Amino acid sequence: MADLSQEEWTKQLEADNNSIVLDVRTPEEVAQGVIPNAIHIDIFKGQGFIDEVEKLDKTKNYYVYCRSGGRSGQACSVMNQLGFENAYNLMGGFDAWQGEVAEL
């Protein structure tokens, strides 16, 4: 897992053609908007989160975010334990996001 600033996260994501953006916030938070092309898996689902993450392609690079960077850091750690080699945490999360916002 790597903690990346928004600038590093965005730059790396733009150059990565093997990437998936993962939003681990609650449905209520997601209703406020998402980073474009994000898939949503709520980390508060507990075992349900692990079950859904296990279905993802472990060969992809995951760019993970939450509201402020804490839960996404936890999600990256869980993903690493499950065998995902490349999980990148967005420091500051969606609250600090300066880029484009979409609706899910």
Percent of the chain surpassing pLDDT 90: 97
What average pLDDT score do residues 53-82 get?
Answer: 98
Domain locations in the chain as residue ranges: 2-96
Percent of the chain surpassing pLDDT 70: 100
pLDDT greater than 80 at residue 54? yes
Distance linking the first and last C-alpha atoms of the chain: 26
Query: Whole-number mean pLDDT of the chain?
Result: 96
Rounded to the nearest 10 degrees, the angle between the axes of helix 70-81 and helix 47-54 is 60
Q: What is the pLDDT of residue 103?
A: 86
Distance, in Å, from the CA atom of 16 to the CA atom of 27, rounded to the nearest integer, reads 27
* 5's tokens: 């600033």
User: Under 8 Å CB-to-CB from 48, ≥6 apart: which residues?
Assistant: 42
Tell the residue number behind the tokens 């990565």, with chain if given.
Answer: 16
Q: What is the pLDDT of residue 85?
A: 95
Q: What is the pLDDT of residue 8?
A: 97
Residues marked as catalytic: 66
Q: What is the pLDDT of residue 104?
A: 74
Distance, in Å, from the CA atom of 26 to the CA atom of 44, rounded to the nearest integer, reads 7
* From the candidate CATH numbers 3.40.350.10, 3.40.50.720, 3.40.50.1820, 3.40.250.10, the one assigned to the domain spanning 2-96: 3.40.250.10
pLDDT in tens, 5-45: 999 999 999 999 999 999 999 999 999 999 999 999 999 99
